[in-house]
Amino acid sequence: MGSLARRLSALEDVAEAARLRHYRAAAAGAGVPVEEFMALAGEFEQLVDRLQAQGRSFREIIGAVAAKAGVDPDDLERQAIALADSW
């Protein structure tokens, strides 16, 4: 493998680690394996995409996601805003 290929591979590894950093931190906070957390995140992402495509409001989407997750909508909204602000 040439020098350029090694560098590209290392750069891809760093990018993947950065992409997964938030998932790993959230999974650790929830006490679940990262793979399980990512699968659940994918389900919620599909739900959000579907509701956005239907033209639902942010508040309606928060309500639907909160209901599916079994959490308080106001708490979920605060957490979502805090997470968005941290990025």
Number of structural domains in the chain: 1
Q: Rounded distance, CA 87 to CA 85, Å?
A: 6
Helix, strand, or coil (residue 49): helix
Compute CA distances 71 → 3, 9, 13, 24, whole Å.
Answer: 50, 40, 35, 21
Q: Which domain holds residue 50?
A: 3-86
Dig out the tokens for 69 from the structure: 């997750």
pLDDT confidence of residue 1: 63
Which amino acid would we find at residue 61? I
List per-block mean pLDDT (blocks of 10 residues) for the chain, which spans 87 residues: 85 88 88 92 94 95 94 92 82
Pairwise CA distance, residues 34 & 27, whole Å: 5
pLDDT at position 55 = 97
